[in-house]
Amino acid sequence: MNKSNNKLLQIADTLEHINEHLVLLAIDTEHYAMALQAVQTDDAISKGVIQAVIAALFRDSLFATDASEQMNSVLSMPEMEVTQHE
């Protein structure tokens, strides 16, 4: 295997590792948001803060999921031979 193919394999492995982290981030943020939904308070300000944090967590979960789907798309592209031009 030549250097270019080795480099491509290293990049693919790194991208797969990053993708795994994105999936875990999406799951964790969604779970945190769901946990906060269980918090009960009569204080209007506290309710507003909790709702804002829940919304931000769900938004971040969607962002991480979208980024993971894009990463999957990149990782599933067909392999191509890389030639170096000097």
CA separation, residue 30 to residues 8, 46, 56, 57 (Å): 33, 20, 10, 6
Which helix (H) or strand (E) segment holds residue 36: the answer is: helix 3-37
Region 31-44 average pLDDT = 96
| For range 6-24, the mean pLDDT | 91
Residues 6+ apart with CB under 8 A from 75: 12, 15, 16, 19
Q: Is the pLDDT of residue 46 over 80?
A: yes
Average per-residue pLDDT for the chain:
89
pTM of the complete model: 0.76
Distance (Å, whole) CA 32 – CA 25: 11
